[in-house]
């Protein structure tokens, strides 16, 4: 039987590559894709997700989700991913129609339909999942697992010194999800910068796969590469969302993790969105989050290259 997934995404340049991987993964069924405001405003996140589905020639329902965090105004990462979220390289990212219906109900219905077998992959702020839990708390016991790209297992964040972007955007949502009964694997920003760093030589190797998907995956990193270069760093990009999807598909990519307590801070100061990971008190009797600390770049690359080698 195929594994049943629901993917929640604030579709920008790394999310788009993650969706390519998921669309071409063997042995899985994607029940739905829900979009959330984060990297870009909700309308852009939705259009970008629909564009990727067209690129993959896949007719998976795409629901337009939350337009802002639960309690806070939306702050995007368009300064990094480009105004359109996909690198501002001139793609036709408008005019597509999302699936009719309430995205929160779609999450709840999927959890009930596949009770005990639905797996979530979250690539953006956790707003949609938190709202679904507030509306139907019982689904926490129906969801088999949630693979979360967010937070930091160890080291600095990418939005502030202490916080990763997704949790910084909506820390209240992250807190709700992490305090729920859903089993969670957290793939933090630190995993991305350790194992998914692609310099220009690496990017050219991906482009040399020479499919429309490979060209797309590299082209849409332009704005992020421009950003890091202007800030005095090596021209390069990272792929946090793709490695999160890859780990969901093949947990053997994880080479070291801990099951521990994780707190999400919701203060209005420099600690906003910080993941406080307990690296000391590893008692076996408490609610635990699996925090990924090390991963195999080689195994990740195999999955990435397989998906980029596909073409419709």
Outline where DSSP puts E strands in the chain. 3-9, 28-35, 62-64, 118-122, 143-149, 184-187, 198-199, 236-237, 254-260, 262-264, 275-277, 289-295
Q: Is 100 exposed, middle or buried (0-12, 13-18, 19+ CB in 10 A)?
A: exposed
Per-residue model confidence (pLDDT) at position 281: 76
Per-residue model confidence (pLDDT) at position 312: 56
Phi, psi of 167 (to 5 degrees): -75, -30
**The listed CATH number (3.90.245.10, 3.30.70.980, 2.120.10.30, 3.40.50.300) that belongs to domain 3-308:** 3.90.245.10
Q: What are the per-10-residue average pLDDT scores of the chain (312 residues)?
A: 96 98 96 98 98 96 98 98 98 98 97 98 98 98 98 96 97 97 97 97 96 97 97 95 98 96 95 95 72 98 94 62
Distance CA(19)–CA(8), nearest Å, equals 10
Per-residue model confidence (pLDDT) at position 57: 94
Distance CA(119)–CA(163), nearest Å, equals 25
Q: How many residues does the chain have?
A: 312
3-state secondary structure 143-193: EEEEEEECCCCCCCCCCCCCECHHHHHCHHHHHHHHCCCCCEEEECHHHHH
Per-residue model confidence (pLDDT) at position 293: 98
Per-residue model confidence (pLDDT) at position 284: 60
Distance CA(241)–CA(289), nearest Å, equals 18
Calculate the alpha carbon distances from 77 to 45, 80, 187, 190, 225 in Å.
12, 5, 19, 18, 14
Calculate the alpha carbon distances from 62 to 35, 171, 218 in Å.
7, 25, 24
Q: Are 120 and 5 in contact (CB under 8 A)?
A: yes
Distance CA(116)–CA(142), nearest Å, equals 5
Distance CA(305)–CA(205), nearest Å, equals 10
Crossing angle of the two packed helices 212-219 and 297-308, in degrees rounded to 10: 120
Q: Are 68 and 74 in contact (CB under 8 A)?
A: yes
Distance CA(214)–CA(93), nearest Å, equals 18
Per-residue model confidence (pLDDT) at position 310: 76
Per-residue model confidence (pLDDT) at position 288: 82
């Amino acid at each position: 039987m195929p594994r049943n997934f629901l993917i929640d995404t604030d579709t920008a340049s790394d999310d788009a590559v993650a969706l390519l991987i998921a669309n071409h993964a063997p042995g899985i069924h994607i029940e739905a894709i829900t979009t959330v405001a984060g990297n870009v405003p909700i309308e852009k996140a939705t259009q970008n997700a629909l564009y990727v589905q067209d690129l993959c020639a896949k007719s998976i329902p795409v629901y337009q989700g939350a337009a802002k965090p639960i309690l806070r105004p939306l702050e995007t990462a368009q300064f990094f991913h480009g105004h359109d979220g996909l690198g501002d390289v001139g793609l036709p990212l408008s005019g597509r129609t999302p699936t009719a219906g309430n995205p929160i109900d779609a999450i709840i219905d999927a959890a009930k339909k596949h009770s005990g077998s639905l797996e979530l992959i979250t690539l953006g702020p956790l707003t949609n999942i938190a709202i679904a839990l507030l509306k139907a708390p019982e689904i926490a016991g129906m969801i088999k697992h949630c693979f979360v790209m967010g937070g930091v297992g160890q080291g600095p964040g990418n939005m502030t010194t202490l916080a990763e972007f997704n949790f910084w955007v909506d820390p209240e949502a992250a807190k709700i999800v992490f305090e729920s009964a859903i089993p969670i694997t957290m793939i933090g920003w630190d995993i991305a910068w350790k194992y998914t760093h692609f310099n220009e030589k690496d990017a050219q190797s991906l482009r040399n796969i020479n499919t429309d998907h490979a060209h797309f995956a590299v082209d849409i990193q332009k704005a992020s590469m421009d950003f890091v270069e202007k800030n005095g760093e090596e021209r390069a990009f990272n792929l946090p969302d793709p490695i999160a999807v890859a780990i969901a598909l093949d947990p053997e990519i994880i080479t070291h993790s801990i099951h521990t307590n994780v707190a999400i801070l919701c203060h209005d100061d420099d600690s906003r969105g910080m993941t406080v990971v307990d690296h000391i008190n590893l008692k076996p009797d408490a609610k635990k989050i699996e925090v990924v600390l090390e991963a195999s770049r080689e195994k990740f690359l195999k999955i990435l290259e397989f998906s980029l080698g596909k073409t419709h």
